[in-house]
Structure formats: structure tokens, C-alpha cells
């Protein structure tokens, strides 16, 4: 009987320690802004029409959901194989909801974990190449974020396809 209780206590201790492992999840969205004028097709010489494309840069909404990760610092962020500069801030209220016309989109559901928002501040150098450790991830995914915490643990998180949000009018 004592051995059974002792084994159960040992097993539960192992489970508690395993549950405390730091984790970081990432969610990413993009939204284009369109002007009030409908895009017209491009007519080339000879009458060939080419559909107009949206040439504006999208706005990115990138969130990290961190469990038991002390202080996050961004090392690099790659979006569609281009290096960007970014800031990171804790989100004050959860869930994260944005207005999309007459309705709201929930980007991050309510969680007890810490939610961080990554804000893109500008593009990096055009000729930047990713480090060898993340080069394969950068070429295979639309978003790759390399970060570390205060304890020196490194995390590389990626998103295969950034989720599109419905386009918004004006900007």
C-alpha cells in the first residue's frame, strides 16, 4: 500500500513538472486595405487585358501565446522571405478582437497564458539572408519568428500560410 501511494506521488510529481515546460504558440493574420475606387484592368498595347492586382502591403496581426516563458525578445522575423524589424508588447485585454466592418473578428481567444503582440516597424535590408539554422523554415513558410527568453532559451516558430482577413476600405 505504501509503495502504491509513493509511486502515485512520484508519478504526479513527474506530471506536474512536465506540465510546466515553457511553450510558445504563434498566430498570424494579414489584412489588405482597399481604396474606394474599384481596380480597373490594365490594357496593354494590342488590347490584351491584365487583371489589376492589389499592390499595397498588407497589415499584419501577429500574436504569441506564451506559457511560463519569462520575457520574450525578438531576434528576427521573416515574412514571405523578407526580413522585418518589429517590436513586441504584452496584450492588456483578452480575447483579442478587431473590428471588420459591421462585425468583429476574434484573433486570439481568451487564455490564462500571456499574449504578446508583434508590431512590424519596418523592412530590413533587401539583401538579408537568413541564418543557416532557420533558412529552410524561411523558404518553406510565410512567417518565421526567431526569439529568446530571459533564461536564454531560443524558440523558432513558423506559420505555413498567414490567415487572410477580409479586406478593409480606406486607410
Res 54: pLDDT: 58
Terminal Cα distance for the chain, rounded: 70
Question: Which 8-state DSSP code applies to residue 45?
Answer: T
pLDDT above 90 for 51: no
Asked whether 60 and 30 are in contact (CB, 8 A), the reply is yes
CA 140 from chain centre, in angstroms, equals 15
What pLDDT digit, counting tens, does each position of 124-140 carry? 887 788 888 888 999 99
Q: What is the mean pLDDT of residues 147-163?
A: 91
CB 39 within 8 A of CB 54: yes
Residue 29 to residues 3, 22, 26, 36, 115, Cα–Cα distance (Å)? 52, 24, 10, 23, 15
pLDDT for the residue numbered 40: 65
Q: Tell me if 99 sits within 8 A of 55, measured CB to CB.
A: no
Longest dimension (CA), the chain: 91
- Quick: pLDDT tens for 71-103: 899 999 999 999 999 999 999 888 998 887 778
Amino acid at each position: 500500500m505504501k509503495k502504491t501511494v509513493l509511486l502515485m506521488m512520484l508519478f504526479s510529481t513527474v506530471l506536474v513538472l512536465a506540465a510546466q515546460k515553457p511553450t510558445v504558440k504563434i498566430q498570424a493574420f494579414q489584412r489588405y486595405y482597399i481604396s474606394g475606387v474599384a481596380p480597373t484592368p490594365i490594357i496593354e498595347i494590342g488590347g490584351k487585358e491584365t487583371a489589376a492586382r492589389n499592390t499595397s502591403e498588407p497589415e499584419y496581426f501577429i500574436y504569441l501565446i506564451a506559457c511560463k516563458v519569462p520575457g520574450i525578445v525578438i531576434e528576427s522575423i521573416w515574412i514571405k522571405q523578407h526580413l522585418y524589424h518589429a517590436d513586441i508588447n504584452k496584450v492588456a485585454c483578452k480575447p483579442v478582437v478587431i473590428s471588420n466592418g459591421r462585425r468583429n473578428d476574434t484573433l486570439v481567444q481568451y487564455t490564462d497564458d500571456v499574449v504578446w503582440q508583434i508590431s512590424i516597424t519596418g523592412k530590413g535590408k533587401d539583401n538579408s539572408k537568413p541564418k543557416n539554422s532557420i533558412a529552410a523554415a524561411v523558404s518553406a513558410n510565410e512567417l518565421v519568428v526567431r526569439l529568446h527568453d530571459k533564461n536564454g532559451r531560443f524558440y523558432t516558430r513558423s506559420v505555413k500560410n498567414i490567415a487572410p482577413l477580409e479586406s478593409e476600405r480606406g486607410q
